[in-house]
Amino acid sequence: MLDRFASIFKIPELKARILFTLGIFLVYRIGGHVPVPGIDAGALGEFFKQSANTLFGLYDMFVGGAFQRATIFALGIMPYISASIIFQLMGTVVPYFQKLQKEGEEGRKKITQLTRYGTVVIAALQAGGASVFLTRLVAPSGAPVVPNPGVGFNFLTMVTLAAGTTLIMWLGEQISERGIGNGISLLIFVGIMDRFPYAVMEEAQMIAAGNRHILTDVFFLVMLFFVTMAVVGITQGMRKIPVQYAKRVIGRKIYGGQSTHIPLRVNTAGVMPIIFAQSIMFIPSSVATILPESGLRDSLQIYFDTNSALYMVFYFLLIVFFTYFYTAIVLNPVDLADNMKKQGGFIPGIRPGKHTSDFIDNVLSKVTLPGAIFLGLIAVVPTMIISQFNVSWNFASFYGGTSILIVVGVALDTLQQVESHLVMRHYDGLMKTGRIRGRRRM
């Protein structure tokens, strides 16, 4: 295995790409520790200690703790993700964007340009809201987070945070073009993994203090191994629908006639259903943190507490719903059937056209069901661990939810790209089989 990793640095192009990516990571982490002027970091840290299980804690997870430190990268890459989702959804209902999606490379470039503009607009709006939000925060000790609020602070914060998000977007694009892996996904990956050493240190301190037996943490490590195996299996799992293309004679040449397949993944929606469901379920508890003491605040805290059974049931059902919803947006059986018909392809035993789209839709619905149930179960695992074993949120979040899904998905995608470079240069792959399982070409 060490020889296989050593062969990575024998390829000059691959070595340069990896070093460039690591350099971008360094810039990203440095920016994640440069604070916005005019904020009391101690008071802000006190506030976020009680907000780990709210929408603020979810947002802070994606930016590697930069939000609770109020750094220039506090907004992270989330405005870009929001803009991408908006334009993706618009592509299903707005004719203009539907036309762009069908124009090939030129259409994708136009959508990418519009996404960048949308990112700047969303970042500016979020930065303005964040500046107002920060001025109203008061730590549990009574110290204001912003000692000297005013128009100057709001304007400076808005410009700083919006510029920070724009820089992150550019860094991500540079990784995709000149580095290895998907730049945006890798920056989120780095932000999540930034919390892992702190989570391990918290557990080590609890063992040293005698608050937890070392065998308990050994059990946690074994459990983490099997959870990761399950996530890898679901991420790579797919149903392959065979497709046959008819032979076409054009002039003196024969085209087509080959057999291929349509890969329908068990988890087509990825991590998006959990993000959507978390965003909705965290809203009541997040609102409760800024409301004055009242019956409404007590009701929100009781019924939407993350440890309550009612919360877990609604959370699970929302994830199942959003899994089917997002899968329907990403993969349209009617478009697949039309494209196959235009190219002379057909599924053996199924008539082209509507019968094909109905067949694909039926198979997709059945394949998505176990993926949706798995996502729902894996999302509630951290909450169950916290309630049963008194584990910190930082440590428990690596056993499920968005953290483990993003880490596994990004790691597999990056390994696949490294594997492709090695095989293309006639080196052995990272795996003994020479290819990463689930990504072999048929």
Number of CB atoms found within 10 A of residue 164's CB: 24
Query: Which residues have C-beta within 8 Å of that of residue 195, sequence separation ≥ 6?
Result: 61, 64, 65, 394, 397
Residue 140 pLDDT greater than 90, yes or no: no
Average pLDDT of the chain to the nearest whole number = 79
Contacts 24+ apart (CB under 8 A), 132-137: 134/39, 134/44, 134/70, 136/290, 137/43, 137/44, 137/47
Domains recognised in the chain with CATH numbers? 1-194 (1.10.3370.10), 209-442 (1.10.3370.10)
Among 68, 89, 72, residue whose Cα is nearest residue 29: 72
Task: Please give the pLDDT value at position 61.
Answer: 58
Give the pLDDT score at 87.
84
**Taking the model in full, what pTM does it have?**
0.76
What average pLDDT does the segment 143-159 reach?
85
**pLDDT score recorded for residue 166:** 92
User: Which of 234, 109, 119, 106 minimizes the C-alpha distance to 167?
Assistant: 119
Q: Say whether pLDDT at 379 is over 50.
A: yes
Q: For the CA atoms of the chain, what is the radius of gyration?
A: 24
What's the mean pLDDT in 362-385? 87
When pLDDT is cut at 50, 70 and 90, the band that residue 442 belongs to is very low
| Distance (Å, whole) CA 52 – CA 157 | 23
Inter-axis angle of helices 55-62 and 272-290, nearest 10:
130
For residues 65 and 32, give the distance between their C-alpha atoms in angstroms, rounded to a whole number. Answer: 8
What is the tens place of the pLDDT at every residue in 424-440?
A: 766 555 555 545 544 43
Q: What is the mean pLDDT of residues 67-85?
A: 80
pLDDT digits (tens, 9 = 90+) for 155-182: 988 999 899 999 999 999 999 889 888 8
Residue 114 confidence (pLDDT) above 70? yes
Strand partners, 238: 265
* pLDDT of 8: 75
Report the pLDDT value the prediction gives residue 22, as an integer from 0 to 100: 92
Residue written as token pair 């059990």: 219
153 phi and psi angles, rounded to 5 deg: -65, -45
| Each residue's pLDDT tens digit, 215-267 | 877 888 888 888 888 888 888 888 888 888 776 666 666 665 677 888 888 88
What pLDDT is recorded for position 438?
43
Q: Specify the pLDDT at position 20.
A: 93
If you average pLDDT over residues 18-44, what whole number do you get?
85
